Structure 1
Amino acid sequence: MTNIVHRVAGWFFSGNSGMEDVGSIKVYKNTNHPTKAWSEISVKQTVNKVVPLSPDTPISVDKLRVVCISDTHTKIEAVPKIVPDGDILIHAGDFTNVGLANEVKKFNAFLGSLSHQVKIVIAGNHDLTFDDEMVNNRRDYLRRNFGVSEKGFEQLLETYNVQHVKELLTNCVYLEDAGIDVCGVHIYGSPWQPEFCDWGFNLPRGEKCLEKWNLIPSSTDILITHGPPIGHGDACFDKNRAGCVELLSTIQQRVKPKYHIFGHIHEGYGVTSDGHTTYINASTCTLRYRPDHAPVVFDYPVPEGHMKDELLKISPQRLIRSAFH
């Protein structure tokens, strides 16, 4: 399957065209110290806990049932019944442990067993082989630290008759700094997060992260990132914060999505709201890597002029750094 870099009917490619005032978002002075940063800005922030929708709630014809999971780490395939039915499944990254091809194949088969009409997936820091910079320039690092040898990796790709591990995801829409229009709802996905133990899709805090957030279209309704924003679902077991200040600023000041879905910090699982955006840490695995957290479910009203029948027109495809218009 070849990379899709052009407009396809039903797909949403509206990235930053240069007309949006992305320059108004500034790097926070203490962005490199997220716990301190949050203590400073939290006095002007609203963080309300939200009780998610029960998966037993009947699915409506005028609403899209969205089911959110993340950080499954090859564990959920053994308990597929944990995932409730819905129209759209969203996975916010870390579906593997280190990105091995056999892990991806297993995950893809799991996705194929689910009934959701549209399945949307982004990568996370554990999905190492999805990070092109690591694969192209840090092969020795992958081999020494994660046992992903170049020879073994290439042999598996050859066995599966693909050139890139991303091609193994045939049962979902894969988003990497790209978006899709689903029944008039604009969904955008980005795998990046501030540096975290030198795993995949890591960027220095501040300007480098902000460059990625500047790509998020202002018309995004549902945002998917792997890492959390500061202050929402980002508190680690030691009470330190891991979220990104600039991500929160981008969400609150420019993009203003209805929902933001992420994972990464397993112990941050849960749902909160700032009064406009609902933040969902959908980590399936606990801190001990047990798949004990239930998927988070919500309903999104089908926008006027659209129908749920449009779901049938969306076929699994790969979107890799799609061209923005």
Structure 2
Amino acid sequence: MVVKTHIEYDSVDSIPHPGAGWTRFVCISDTHSRREPLPFGDVLLHSGDLSAWGYPHQVKAVISWLKEEPHPVKIIVAGNHDLCLDARLPIEAHVDETPESLESIREYVRSQEVKNAGLNYLEHESMEFTTEGGRSWKVYGSPAAPHYAGGAFQYKNEAAAKELYNRIPLDTEILLTHTPPFEVLDLTRKGKNAGCRFLGERLEMLHSCRLHVFGHIHEARGALILKNEDNNERVAVNAAIAHRGSKPIIVDISH
């Protein structure tokens, strides 16, 4: 596997696609209801915090934006801001919303209309797709993150974390999570590593994983190429673009 990452560049049109034999992934996260100019690629990956405050109309507006994007495959997960998508939260967590409005947006993100636009919503689940170049990829997506104040899809203890991350199939090649793993692009402004240890432990078992995209810790945006015990490479991408001027991160992977 050969990998090229593009973190800073002049414009969304300034980096040509490497051509046949490559898959181009365009990675974003933490857009918080903002529309951003996106480079074209084979696959668009969004690792959560689609919305600013988790209202159904905000999530629907983001879905409308992403439906319009021309990437053949688009895969998204939710994040801790996307309250309306977390069915576990009590109704009291949703200001001025009804059970009907919440059910409606949860159905909409999985609707055939959305899927027909090439947009796939994953919530602790897998999918597989084949690029126009003929490369098939196995993907898993999770919106979960360690508990911090209020929010959606959060877990509070070790048992819950392990149960969630043990669901990730061992043959996963592309992983989307909202949280980073511990000590991988997870350093906060206060110097704390805010990633999840248990996600990191699971990643050590995912020998087929070639790309892990996450966000959540805005200030830790960037990309690293890591090696596992089999000497296989995995690209880790904190794709948060909540800060003004931050660009989507492009990852090109050879077949």
Identity of aligned residues (%): 31
In the alignment, structure 1 residue 124 sits paired with structure 2 residue 79: yes
Match of 2:62 in 1: 107
Instruction: Report the AA paired with residue 277 of structure 1.
Output: R
Query: Scaled by the length of structure 1, what TM-score is found?
Result: 0.66
Q: What is aligned with 2:204?
A: 252
Within 5 Å, give how 1:85-234 maps onto structure 2: 85-134=40-89, 138-140=90-92, 142-143=93-94, 148-151=95-98, 154=100, 157=101, 163-169=103-109, 170=114, 171=117, 172-183=119-130, 184-234=136-186
Higher share of residues assigned strand: 2
Per the alignment, residue 254 of structure 2 pairs with: 301
- How far the C-alpha of 1:299 sits from its partner, in A, is 1.8
Distance 1:279 1:133 in 2: 29
Distance 1:163 1:195, change over 3 A: closer
CA distance in 2 between counterparts of 1:297 and 1:71 reads 16
Larger Rg computed on CA atoms: 1
CA distance in 1, matches of 2:125, 2:204: 20
Q: Give the partner amino acid of 1:210.
A: K
Give the secondary structure class of the aligned counterpart of 1:150.
coil
Alpha carbons 2:125, 2:141 under 8 Å: kept: yes
Q: Distance in 1 between matches of 2:166 and 2:31?
A: 28
Does structure 2 retain, via aligned residues, the 8 Å contact 1:205–1:244? Answer: no
Name the CA distance, whole Å, in 1 between partners of 2:104 and 2:196.
30
Q: Which has the higher helix share?
A: 1
Q: Structure 2: how far apart are the matches of 1:118 and 1:58?
A: 16
Runs of 5+ consecutive residues of structure 2 not aligned to the other structure = 131-135, 228-232
Structure 1 position 225, deviation (Å): 0.4
Higher RCO, 1 or 2 (CA under 8 Å, sep at least 6)?
A: 1
Match of 1:261 in 2: 213
Distance 1:201 1:106 in 2: 21
1:89 & 1:179 partners in 2: Cα distance? 16
Contact 1:108 1:168 in 2 (8 A): no
With normalisation by structure 2, the TM-score equals 0.84
CA RMSD of aligned residues (A): 1.9
Consecutive unaligned residues of structure 1, counting only runs of 5 or more, are 1-49, 303-325
Q: State how far apart, in whole Å, the 2-side matches of 1:201 and 1:255 are.
A: 26
The residue matched to 1:164 in structure 2 has which SS?
helix
Q: C-alpha displacement at 1:256, in angstroms? A: 4.9
The code of the aligned residue for 2:72 comes to: Q
1:216 & 1:194 partners in 2: Cα distance?
17
Match of 1:238 among 190, 193, 216: 190
Amino acid corresponding to residue 20 of structure 2 in structure 1: V
Q: Does 1:52 align with 2:39?
A: no
Distance 2:138 2:5 in 1: 24
Q: Distance in 2 between matches of 1:51 and 1:109?
A: 28
Q: How many residues align?
A: 230
Partner of 2:238: 281
Contact persistence 2:170–2:205 (CA under 8 A) = no
For 2:133, the equivalent position in structure 1 comes to: none
Which residue, out of 51, 56, 61, partners 2:20? 61
The answer on whether the counterparts of 1:59 and 1:86 sit within 8 Å (CA) in structure 2 is no
Displacement of 1:113 after TM fit?
A: 1.9
Q: Which amino acid is the alignment partner of residue 105 of structure 2? A: V
